[in-house]
Amino acid sequence: MRASNNTMVLFLILTSGCFGSRGVSDRESDGRDSSKPDSDASDRVNTGGGDARIDARISDGTRTSISPRVCGDNVTEYGETCDGTDLAGASCGSLMRGYVGTLACMPDCQNYDTSMCHSGSAFCGNAVKEYDEICDGPDLGGTSCDTLITGYIGTLSCTADCSNYDTSMCYASRVCGNGIKELGESCDGNDLAGATCWSLTPGFVGTLRCKRDCDYDMSMCYKGVDDGGS
């Protein structure tokens, strides 16, 4: 009977040692304590639904939470300069001092599109030549008929869309004495432009001539004799 009791005690001691070591083996089998947080868990992507975020280790050893970049969702995220309508607060003026216009974002979200930015507040019709305008209203940028066409005078103007000059009122400067009636001259030498004493002063006849200053000389014109003899 005593031998049986000793055998039972020995069995209990052996079995309790086996069961008691189970917790230790669970903790030590993979080298980690399962009761402590997984130190590498923050390096993994949380795929359990919701807004997936990535924890990254940065240069000073700390960690920062980063949202995965999605170009095209109109939200500027990590690694993007801008995204669609989200320009991260940038404007033409903040990128280029003195510039205005419409800033946009490149399709790859890596840079800004400044093609619609321009210097100042340029717009056609404000009578100020700006940016890529040739002229604007009376502001011709110092250009004249003569600077565009040597020897021409007159009134230079600007087209309505500010894209070019209107030279319709420019003309060749007159040269009195060359025998050709030009703009600004009444006549020139023998070129009386079809005028006569009668056309200039009805009832007068005689010989119309041209002065040296290219104006009419009516000194040889006289009043004609009417049919009544008066």
Domains of the chain, by residue range, sit at 66-121, 123-173, 181-225
User: In whole angstroms, what is the distance from residue 196 CA to residue 89 CA?
Assistant: 77
For 28-36, the CB contacts below 8 A with 24+ separation are none
- 88-139, pLDDT tens digit by residue? 999 988 998 778 788 999 999 999 999 988 776 567 888 888 777 899 999 9
pLDDT of 86 over the 50 cut? yes
CB 33 within 8 A of CB 27: yes
8-12, 66-70, 87-91, 195-199: lowest mean pLDDT where? 8-12
User: Among residues of the chain, what percentage have pLDDT more than 90?
Assistant: 43
CA angle 84/57/59 to nearest 5° reads 95
Backbone angles phi, psi at 64, to 5 degrees: -135, 145
- Say whether pLDDT at 25 is over 80: no
HSE-up of residue 8 (Cα within 13 Å, Cβ side): 5
Q: Taking residues 24-31, report their average pLDDT.
A: 44
> Residue type for 72, please?
G
Task: Place 200 in a pLDDT band, splitting at 50, 70 and 90.
Answer: very high
Mean pLDDT of the 46-59 span: 44
**Quick one: pLDDT band at residue 8, thresholds 50, 70, 90?**
low
The reported pTM is: 0.33
Task: Tell me what the mean pLDDT of segment 40-63 comes to.
Answer: 46
pLDDT at position 42 is 40
